[in-house]
Structure 1
Amino acid sequence: MNLLIVVDMQKDFIDGSLGTAEAQAIVPAVKERIVEAMGDRWQVIFTKDTHSIDYLKTQEGRNLPVMHCLRGSDGWQFPAELQDLSVGSSIFEKGSFGSLELAEYVRSLNPDAIEVIGLCTDICVLANVALLKAYCPEVPMTVRASCCAGVTPEAHENALNAMKALQVEIL
């Protein structure tokens, strides 16, 4: 079984409070990759950055004091282009950068291969790739650079290089 993990493709990271032109630009490629993976019978798993109203009191909120991805808000949702594709898929809500629950679930599936795409390359993609590599060290893992965007283009490139050092293939 092959897995495609779609990290935090939410409105707030695309065109909302933390959106970037680079994030907006990858949405068509992400949609195309999800459709292709589903057609090839890959299991597609989504994550959702999920915060509550007390976000600014958390360590992350003190370091990044921008309200985003509040559970139930418009910015917490997937964009229209991806909404229907997420129906019926596993969705992991995560209150921090990486998800131990996701890593444990993926390990329980004993996949043949893992591909990771999404936002932001230098934060949540990198954190989840590192966790998945720790939980599934022998599973080949790829990150599709054209389906990821970082906080800045430089941060995106730095994260891709860090993941290469973790023996992740960058496509």
Structure 2
Amino acid sequence: MTATARHRHARRRAAAIALATALSGAIHAPEARAEGPLAFSDLVALKDGADACWVRDYDNAHLARHPDQTVTRMALSLDVFHDSDPQTPSLGFLLTARRRGGDGEPGAVGRCQQRDDGVACYAECDGGGFLLRRASSPGAILLDMRHVGWLRLHDCDETEGDTPRNPPLTPGKDDAVFRLDAAPMARCTGP
């Protein structure tokens, strides 16, 4: 399955789950533990089909305090699946970001892996990555761009790729670490 097909499948699946989530009002949020690295189980229930969402819409006041921040909105969804080993869960992600002066809300898809310092996520087709860490606020996570140093926000098989209006996301002065808050899945799937 191509990255575009997986992305479309993930969005359709997420939309169906979003309806069920909205009806139940359930939001999975990391436990408010103050110590230790973030683990898969802190993020989402480890069963096939489980998912979770974190979003942040940066308001004008925040952006005025951080004039070098290019990201105006970020959404991260995670979903659990099992490959060949039913005992070992895998974690997939979809991250979208809207930027000042950018076109739309491009995204990246990939897989995450448990590490000693948190949950590391890597985009498909050598598209860079990020590290998820524990935040001090209950229900929030930190997305750290400094782990890999860049993230390509488009599908592997797109012909246009990186453009001046859609460059890779890099950890600039105000774009290095993002706090995202737990949200209903509908906030990650968009319209």
TM class by smaller structure: under 0.3
Structure number, greater radius of gyration: 2
**TM-score, scaled to structure 1:** 0.26
Identify, as 1 or 2, the structure richer in helix. 1
Identify, as 1 or 2, the structure richer in strand. 2
